[in-house]
Structure 1
Amino acid sequence: MSSRASRGPGADRATVVTSQKVRADRLGDYHLWQARANEAAREFEGFEGAEVYPPRTGDENEWVAVFRFSGIDHLTAWLNSPRRRELLAEGQGLFEAPPTQEVLHGGAPPEQVPEVVTAVISHDVKPGQEQGFLRWQAKALKAQEKSPGFMGSELFKPVEGVQERWVVVFRFDSREHLDDWLASDARKELLAEGRAYFASYDVRKVGSAFSGWFRFEEGAQGAAPPNWKQAMSVVLALYPTVMVLNLTVGAELDELGVPGYLGLFFSNVLSVSILTWLLMPLVNRALAFWLVPRRTRGHRVHLAGAAVVVLGYALFVAVFGLITR
C-alpha cells in the first residue's frame, strides 16, 4: 500500500508537525504551555485537531505536537499569527533548542491502525537537484515496499513562504519494523546515493498515525468507531473525571481564592491529561467489543454496548448524587 499527495477532496489539507526537546526540569511548565497553544489554535478558522505525543524510550525527551487545518491558508494564518509568536516567545525557556517543524500540504488521512508508527523525514534538497531527488525518492519507495511492516508513504513538496524542505512521511505497523528499515543496509546504500541530491535530512518518529483517543491493542483494521460511539465513550470517562476534580481540586482552589477562570484552566489540563493517559485506554479496552469496527457485526452488539454505557452513566449519576447530598 502506498500513496502520494494528490489533488483530490483532501488535497488542501495541511498539517504541521512540531518537534521539541523539553528540558527535564520544565516538563510541568511545558504541559501547561502546550495546553495554551492547543487552545489558541482552536480559535483559528479551519482548525481540525491537535495531538501531542510523548517521547518514546531513547528519544531524548522529544515531544511531538501535530496541528491539523482544513487548508494551507488556514494553517499559514496560525503559523504567522501574533498569538503564536507570543506563545513561542513565552516557551523559549522550556526547550533545549528551538523547536523544529515540518508542514505537510495535502495527502490522504492515515488509516486508523492502532500500533502504526510514523516517521517524518525532512530533506534540504540541493538547488537544481529536485528532479534527481524525485527519482531517488521513487527508488527508495520501491525498496521500502519490500520491507516487512511497510504501510505507505507520502511525499510533500515545499510550501512557498512557509518552508523550503521536502518532507517524506512513511508508516510501519510497529516500532520494530520501522527501526529495522531505518537501520537496514538497503537504506544506508540509498542514503549514500541520495547525498548527491540533498545536503541534509532530519528524522522524527511518532508512535501513532496521528489518531486520537481511540487506539486499540489487538490489530483492529479499518475506520475508527462512529462519532456517536466515540462521544458516548468520552462522556463515560469525562463525567466522573470532572466530578471528582470539582469535589477535590476545585474545592481546594476555591478555598485558596483562585479565580474561577484559572481554576477552570487547571481543571481542563488535569481532566484532558487523565483522559488521555489513564481513562480512555481503560475505556477502549473495556468496550473494545463495541468500539472496534471489525467486531461489531450485528445490531445486538451495537445495542449491548450502548446499554453498558448508559448503565455506566446511571451508576455514576447515582453515586455522585449520593455524595453531593
Structure 2
Amino acid sequence: MPEQTEGQFVYTIHSSVSASQRQEYQAVQERMNRAAMTFTGYLGQDVVYEDSGNGSTLKVTTHVRFEELEQCLRWLDSPQRRELLNEAEELIGYHYRFHLEAGSFDQWIQANGSSRTPIWKVNLLVWLALYPSVMVLMWVSGSTLGSLPLPLNMLISNLITVLLTGYLLVPWLSRVYTNWLSTASRRWTLAGCSTILVAQGLLLMLFSTVPALPWNTTG
C-alpha cells in the first residue's frame, strides 16, 4: 500500500522485470532518481525487488516521494522522464508497464484536504436560506399556489424552495461563510453562529411587521 504522511505525496508504482535485467533496470532507476532531484519538491524514491515465484521475473515496487501532488505530476509528465523511459526501452528492450495504486491520490486528498465541515454548520446555512425562501414564496404565490389544495401546494412549494436553496442560496452562503465553515476556533464559530441568529431575528421582525404582507393583514 502507498505510504501517506502529512506534507508528502507518495506515488506508488508496481511493475515487473526479467530477473536477468535487474542490474540494467537498477541503472535506469538510478538515472531516474538523479533526474528527479532537479525537480522542486522531490524527496527521493524507494525501490523494492521481490521474486515473483517463478525465478525468472521480479516484482518491482517503486515509491516516488514529493512534497506536493502537483510537483509529482510535473515530474511524471516531464520530457526528461519520458526520454529516460525511451532509452530504457531501446537499450534493454524493457517495455515500461505499471499499475498505479489509486489510493495514492485518495490518501493525499484525505491527508491534505480541508477538515470535514460539521453537519450542524451546513444545517444552519440551510435554515438561514430556507426561512426567507419559504416566506417570500408564500407571499408572491398567494394567488396561484395558494388556491391549490394544500397537499399539492406543499408539493410544488417544497420543490421550488429546494431548488432555490440548493442551487442558489446555500452555495452563495457557503462562499460568504467559507472561513466559518472550516474554522476550528471556538471564538469564530460562536461569532458566525451569532450572525446567523441575528439575521434570522431581523427576518422574523421584517416578516412580522411589514403591513403589505398577507399574513399581517387584520380584519
- Shorter-normalised TM range: 0.3 to 0.5
Of Structure 1 and Structure 2, which has the larger fraction of its residues in strand? Answer: 1
Of Structure 1 and Structure 2, which has the larger fraction of its residues in helix? Answer: 2
**TM norm structure 1:** 0.32
**TM norm structure 2:** 0.46
Highest CA radius of gyration, 1 or 2? Answer: 2
